[in-house]
Structure 1
Amino acid sequence: MRLCLTLLCLLIPLPALAAQLTLDLGDGSRHWQSEQLLTHPLARDVTIEQDVAYKRTMHYRAVPLAALLEGVKPSDHLQAVALDGFAAEMPAGPLLQPGPAQAWLAIEDNARPWPPLGQGKAGAGPFYLVWTQPQASGIRPEQWPFQIASIRSLAAVEVRFPALLPDPALPDADPVRQGFVLFQQNCLACHRLNGAGDAHLGPDLNLPHNPTEYFQPAFLRQYIRDPQSLRHWPQAKMPGFSTQVLSDQELDALLAYLKHMAGRKPR
């Protein structure tokens, strides 16, 4: 009889464990369980018409992210860290604004899991930073981190990682300086440079060699626009950066920064 009960228990599916979000905002860590967030007083159903991760309209239960960022100021700098090592660097200002572009923390319900992001891939849960009306504030795809595990308050990138800085003697209007800003927005979430950065998803873009040193210029542009068109393999994770995300002028500035940093490797 006891053996039968044991076998019966093994056959009964156990409920999925609630996910936990860690917030480290400078005054100690706080933890939110997904079940708590799903029933948060400010939680509501939101429709995201141009979902960056799923490439289609999606519907989520979400909480305004600003409601969870108690004590954070617009001048602060935040980092969202994903389960796979993706680390999105974000100024706090846009995350705190009530609109027109508004940041929401979407929460996956274990009873209704989100679809996979592709064949053989996991979904965007358990937590996903989504935006309503993102075009109103020029929100970029790298500002939509998914599979979030934690959000933390940190010093700005240039303070934490001086090895990323271009030559201080460059004029303020030099395209390299714009390229440095674009690198932070579009590349630093996955890559390091000169060993500097918090991401672990992609390779270092200057050590041992900078891509401007081994790619022909036309092929490097093609690779950034559509990685799979140059190197195709199913496990690839790098997204393409279309002209809607990164204009030709911005791509010029980003490449100028990379080429400049090829001459600023650590000695």
Structure 2
Amino acid sequence: MDGDHLKTLILFGALLLSTPLFAAQLDLELGANGRTWQTEELLKHPQVQTITITNDVSYKRDMSYRAVPVAALLTGIKPEDHLQAVALDGFAAELSAAPLLNAKGARAWLAIEDPAKPWPALSEGKHSAGPFYLVWTDPQAGNISPEQWPFEVASIKRMAPVAQRFPALLPDPALAADDPVNKGFALFQKNCLACHRLNGAGDAQFGPDLNIPFNPTEYFGADFLTRYIRDPQSLRQWPQAKMPGFTAAVLPDGDLVMLVGYLKHMAGRKVKP
């Protein structure tokens, strides 16, 4: 190999290493309006802009992102629709479409990681929150829970409601629609179902089943379950813990009571998978 040829190969290799690779893709499975977006396309989206997130849920500090309003990507989706955001690691966030379509108050954004400007790792030895991360501006206005901030998002799918897909999660049908147990079921879907199954039902692959073999209301005494939900590390500390705490700003005391009420109710409705 002559010197000129070698120089050409070196320059070509350097060019490849210095060129951003736009390999990540986001699959939107929305029926007739579904499509796949590449990172490069999203970074050039006409509505992309720089946003600042105060006290980001995943990074625990202020963060700035290039992001597109989620509503701009949900062509054909109606407020009454139900969506599921699935992460690369199997985390599956159940999301009502209505908050995602909001243009005021709590507003959902798809943050896009630019390979040329990668985000920091979430913690030592971990990946970043990219390539795509669902974040919120003014989340307090909509009582947005930590489970509604999925990171490493790979796809967003339109799905049938949870109650239709997983009847084993349903409370006693004799209960009134406005019964606190049914309200607790709605809170369970919003705050727990992304990580936990119950009666073997759900798409989550992270936390333990919350009814089989035992329901947490059966082994947490007195007020320890509510304390655990508020701050898991206050009762059991370990470095690899993943469950976030749910503050009163995210899950008010009354809602927490209804959530625990749903779990206690379901302890009497065990269905083995």
> Which TM-score applies when normalising by structure 2?
0.90
CA contact (8 A) 2:144 2:250 kept: no
CA contact (8 A) 2:146 2:244 kept: no
- In 1, the alpha carbon distance for the partners of 2:137 and 2:224 equals 35
2:123 alignment counterpart: 118
Q: What's the RMSD between the two structures over aligned residues?
A: 2.2
Q: Which amino acid aligns with 2:29?
A: D
CA contact (8 A) 1:182 1:254 kept: yes
1:24 alignment counterpart: 29
CA contact (8 A) 1:180 1:254 kept: yes
CA contact (8 A) 1:84 1:201 kept: no
1:157 alignment counterpart: 162
CA contact (8 A) 1:105 1:129 kept: yes
Deviation at 1:146, TM superposition (A): 1.2
What SS does structure 2 have at the residue aligned with 1:217? coil
| Residues 217-236 of structure 1: pairs in structure 2 closer than 5 A | 217-236=222-241
Deviation at 1:143, TM superposition (A): 1.5
Deviation at 1:200, TM superposition (A): 0.8
1:197 alignment counterpart: 202
Deviation at 1:29, TM superposition (A): 4.3
Report how many residues are paired.
Answer: 266
Which residue among 238, 243, 246 is the counterpart of 1:238?
Answer: 243
Deviation at 1:210, TM superposition (A): 1.0
Residues 28-49 of structure 1 deviation map (CA, whole Å, 9 limit, x = unaligned): 7411111110011111111112
- In 2, the alpha carbon distance for the partners of 1:217 and 1:184 equals 24
- In 1, the alpha carbon distance for the partners of 2:112 and 2:211 equals 36
Deviation at 1:17, TM superposition (A): 4.8
1:139 alignment counterpart: 144
Q: Which amino acid aligns with 2:219?
A: Y
Does the alignment pair 1:184 with 2:160?
Answer: no
Q: Which runs of 5+ in 1 are unaligned?
A: none
1:103 alignment counterpart: 108
Residues 198-252 of structure 1 deviation map (CA, whole Å, 9 limit, x = unaligned): 1111111111111111221332222212112222211111111122221222211
Identity of aligned residues (%): 66
1:88 alignment counterpart: 93
Distance 1:211 1:5, change over 3 A: farther
Q: Which amino acid aligns with 1:233?
A: W
Deviation at 1:171, TM superposition (A): 3.2
Residues 86-121 of structure 1 deviation map (CA, whole Å, 9 limit, x = unaligned): 111111111112113221111000111111222222
- In 2, the alpha carbon distance for the partners of 1:40 and 1:10 equals 30
Q: Which amino acid aligns with 1:199?
A: A
- In 1, the alpha carbon distance for the partners of 2:251 and 2:6 equals 60
